[in-house]
Structure 1
Amino acid sequence: MTEPHNERLSDILKRLAQDHNPDLTLGDVVRALGERGFGALILLLAAPNIIPLPPGSSFIFGVPLVFITAQLMIKQDKVWLPQKLMNAKVGGGRLPYLLNRLVPYVVKVERLLKPRGTLLTSSLGERLAGLAGLFCAIILLLPIPGANMAPALALCCFALGLIEQDDLAMAGGWFGTAATVVILILLYLFGTAIFAFLSNWLAP
């Protein structure tokens, strides 16, 4: 379990939002977040997937999430991303605008969170959360209709739990992961039933 941070994520995001440079890259964000990188980056990359996105958008967010959650799983100290991702502009050059929209919601959520519990936010708990987060990130990479919201919510909960060392938020992440598995099973069963129906209907 890591020690809670004195500076809240919303304060860091406010500073980033005040940088009106439209060429801010993912690497700039990683450096600004410092040791808060894992939880904060997971939140920033997962949150947009909660709403319906244009085709292919979830893949753009999912690739760095795979790298970040895998490193959380193996308990790497600092976030590492390939240079191509580090040089990528975040939000298509509209990062300050997007952060200004995000900060009020982060402030509201932070009021509900506090350091509590030691099980899910222990060192082992964080590694297991990295494993579950990696699974959710991989699901985001796949073009599965209707399967984005649950893993995105799970990742956001894990991120908030990591940031605030809150077992309750981490439990929300595990609930979202379980919901993701259930949704995948239901989609598989639905797809299998449709395929069987069409096969019988089209059979000579």
Structure 2
Amino acid sequence: MGDEDEKEEPKPMPEDADVKDATTTTIVAKTDGDNGQAVTEAPLASVEGMEAEVADTGPDEIAGEGFSLLEFAPAAHRFRMSMLQPSDPRSFYSAVKREIKLLKSDLPPGVWVRGYENRIDLLSVMIAGPTKTPYEDGLFVFDVQLGGEYPRAPPLCHYHSYCSDRLNPNLYEDGKVCVSLLGTWSGRGVEVWGKDSSLLQVIV
């Protein structure tokens, strides 16, 4: 999510990649130029009209204070190889559009989010540690997936730990994030995921 990443040229999609309807996902095989071995990707299926709406923002265009939309999800994203089969495609894509709109307009300072045109179920989040706290000057990086049961179920979240100690009781070295909104910690009322919950709420 740094300046260096933003300058990277996106890798072109394979010429033989097929576009499927909203109820299917595809596996695209390509050759890794370094060692000649086949590499498998699992891009999210598209839905008519959705890809055009996402593309309106344009790759690398800053759509809000800390939100940007890139063309391709990075190879290192934790959930890039996850297959996605939305149980309710119409509800899923409607919720994704709502999330993108919120992230464009309401992200607080010190939070950066990237979305990806070819995988609208994936996002990357970076949060700067607040000033005058033990976390000041720290950067906390998360990979997020809006899973097949979304929005009925909360997003999946993985924390990238770059040290050998736990910096926070809710962030584990193996990547687990203990937050009641994610269903990984106990809670009640608005503390747990519900029909009015959003990824923005989780981030805040």
TM-score by length of 2: 0.27
Greater relative contact order structure (CA < 8 Å, 6+ sep): 1
Decide which structure has greater helix share: 1
TM-score with structure 1 length normalisation? Answer: 0.27
Larger radius of gyration: 1
